[in-house]
Amino acid sequence: MMLFTRTLKTFAVTIAVMFAVTVSATPAHADEVWSDSVEGATPWDHWQANSGGDGQVGYDINRGFAHSGANNGWLFVGNGWAANRIPVNVSNWTRDRCGVSVWFNPVTAAGAQVGLQVWNPNGWHIIAETYPWYPGFGYRQAWITGLDLRGYTGDVYLQVIYGKPNGPKTFVRFDDLALGCYTPPR
């Protein structure tokens, strides 16, 4: 419960800062928040791995590499790509203004360009995406803000992705994926 509370607080602060600046002087609050920090004995039961080329996807269970909690996921690529996604049902959400965030840790001094994507499974098209460059070693947060999900019902998929055209295989760890939506004061 402590892990969920910490993740929720971190995400709520992020949401409040993102939207308070763009909407009004009134502090914002998240009406709906979903998060997953890759916890549990079998995260592969709810995460969906995919890869191409030499890409691999996996999990560190109780190994001490997590951003928070005990577990994290990883993407391992030299020449190809690796991705891990998870569905989030937004049917009963207001979906007005949303944001998604995840923590990445490139495990190489050279750093890595990693991706955070939001997918609509109806036709499998990308709703939003970002591919920031992160210097190596240490967790850093990636986020997408200003996301309008009012046109979507059922599941949307949140996906982390890492790819390289060639070279030595390198790890990127990920943890604390979160989606939050709020309705601005009227």
pLDDT digits (tens, 9 = 90+) for 45-69: 999 999 999 999 999 999 999 999 9
What per-residue confidence (pLDDT) applies to 183? 74
- State mean pLDDT over 81-110: 93
What per-residue confidence (pLDDT) applies to 96? 81
Per the prediction, the chain carries an average pLDDT of 86
Helix, strand, coil share (%) of the chain residues, nearest 5:
15, 50, 35
What per-residue confidence (pLDDT) applies to 11? 44
In the beta sheet, which residues pair with residue 5? none
What per-residue confidence (pLDDT) applies to 186? 65
Structure tokens at 72: 């994290």
Q: How confident is the model at residue 92 (pLDDT cuts 50, 70, 90)?
A: confident
The answer on pLDDT for 1 being more than 60 is no
CA dist 47 and 29 (Å) reads 28
Q: How confident is the model at residue 30 (pLDDT cuts 50, 70, 90)?
A: low
SS (H, E, C) 110-129: CCEEEEEEEEECCCCEEEEE
Side-chain-side CA neighbours of 126 within 13 Å: the count stands at: 10
CA dist 96 and 126 (Å) reads 18
What per-residue confidence (pLDDT) applies to 165? 93
CATH code: domain of residue 115: 2.60.120.260
Range of the domain at 70: 2-182
- State mean pLDDT over 120-126: 96
At a CB cut-off of 8 Å and minimum separation 6, what does 115 contact?
A: 129, 130, 131, 159, 160, 161, 162, 163
Which residue in 63, 57, 145 sits closest to 101, CA to CA? 145
CA dist 81 and 101 (Å) reads 20
Domain count, the chain: 1
What per-residue confidence (pLDDT) applies to 78? 96
